[in-house]
Chain A
Amino acid sequence: MLTYKLIDGIIPEPVGGAHADIDGACLLVKAEVVRSLEKLSKTDPDKLVERRIKKFCAMGMVEKARPASKTKAKA
């Protein structure tokens, strides 16, 4: 999902998953939230909206399939 830019980041979980160390997982999330908030709160609201719309509009891509005859010839 990260490669297709559908999401912006992955937050790591403690060893053994979030259920193995609940407080640790919460703190990891908090650190990421604080970091993102600090960055985003400095941005102008108009720019935020514009960037958000652009980001979601750019999602999705089309891959053209090869014509059936060509694929068969190759196989």
Chain B
Amino acid sequence: MQTFLEFEKPIQNIIEQIEKLKEVAAQGDVDVNPTLLTWRRSCPSPAREIYAKLTPRERVQVSRHPDRPYTLKYIDTISGGTFMELHGDRTVKDDKAMVGGFGMVEGRSVMFIGQQKGINTKMRQYRNFGMPNPEGYRKALRLMKLAEKFGKPVVTVIDTPGAFPGLEAEERGQGEAIARNLFEMMRLRVPVICIVIGEGASGGALGIGIGDRVLMLENTWYSVISPESCSSILGEVDFKEQAAG
């Protein structure tokens, strides 16, 4: 079942009608192919129109779309299924919000590191909603050092609503872990490519975001604070009201 955002309604209508037509065709012997063909022709155009003039608010919604592919999907496709995950920061525990490991890209082995979100409620809790703890950043640093040792390039995939702000994260030195990552990533003697594929919030994103090439996908955001918090500080629009209403 696909999920549709509010401004995607016209696309949803067309897709639902196609499904209905198919059901009719399956029940009776009415030939729906000519009608379907006309629908197909008209289907990409509303999508193109809608996505050509997205407002900033809609773009933020797209970046959090529940059907959007997450880090592991990108890594698996880019590495053609050769990705081998490595675990643990060698001090506290393995952070599930941060994934990393080697994979092959066009005959070259590459270290992939990125924040992973879950696809359903249970997985989201397991992955801590893509918010890494300090051990996640320390794991990322350990893997980057490993890549540097073997002279392999690093590709980081950023998709996080922020670093985890819990009490235990602060106790274990969240700020220190991120700051150390910034420092060490600056002087990594291998190529580093960073890609923002969804949300890129603040230190959570920067902790693995220092690279020779920092790239963003079209419908993503990368900022010091989430757009909602920023607007409530500035007091212009209250998004909480919008969400409740």
Using a CB–CB cutoff of 8 Å, the interface residues on chain A facing chain B are 1, 6-13, 15-20, 22-23, 25-27, 29-30, 32-34, 36-37, 40-41, 43, 45-46, 48-49, 51-53, 55-56
The SS class assigned to the B binding surface is: mixed
Q: Which residues of A contact B212 (CB under 8 A)?
A: 36, 40, 48, 51-52, 55
- A65 → B minimal CB distance (Å): 17
Contact A37:B211 (CB < 8 A) given known A15-B48, A19-B68: no
Number of contacting residues on B, CB 8 A?
Answer: 42
Complex Cα distance A61/B143, Å? Answer: 33
Contact A33:B105 (CB < 8 A) given known A10-B218, A12-B218, A22-B69: yes
Contact A18–B105 (Cβ < 8 Å):
no
Complex Cα distance A55/B193, Å? Answer: 14
Contact B51–A16 (Cβ < 8 Å):
yes
Complex Cα distance A51/B191, Å? Answer: 11
- A29 → B minimal CB distance (Å): 6
Q: Does B207 contact A (CB under 8 A)?
A: no
Q: Does B47 contact A (CB under 8 A)?
A: yes
21 A-B Cβ contacts within 8 A? A1-B222, A9-B213, A11-B215, A15-B44, A15-B47, A16-B51, A17-B62, A17-B219, A18-B69, A18-B197, A19-B65, A26-B73, A30-B77, A34-B105, A36-B191, A36-B193, A36-B213, A37-B110, A48-B191, A53-B186, A55-B212
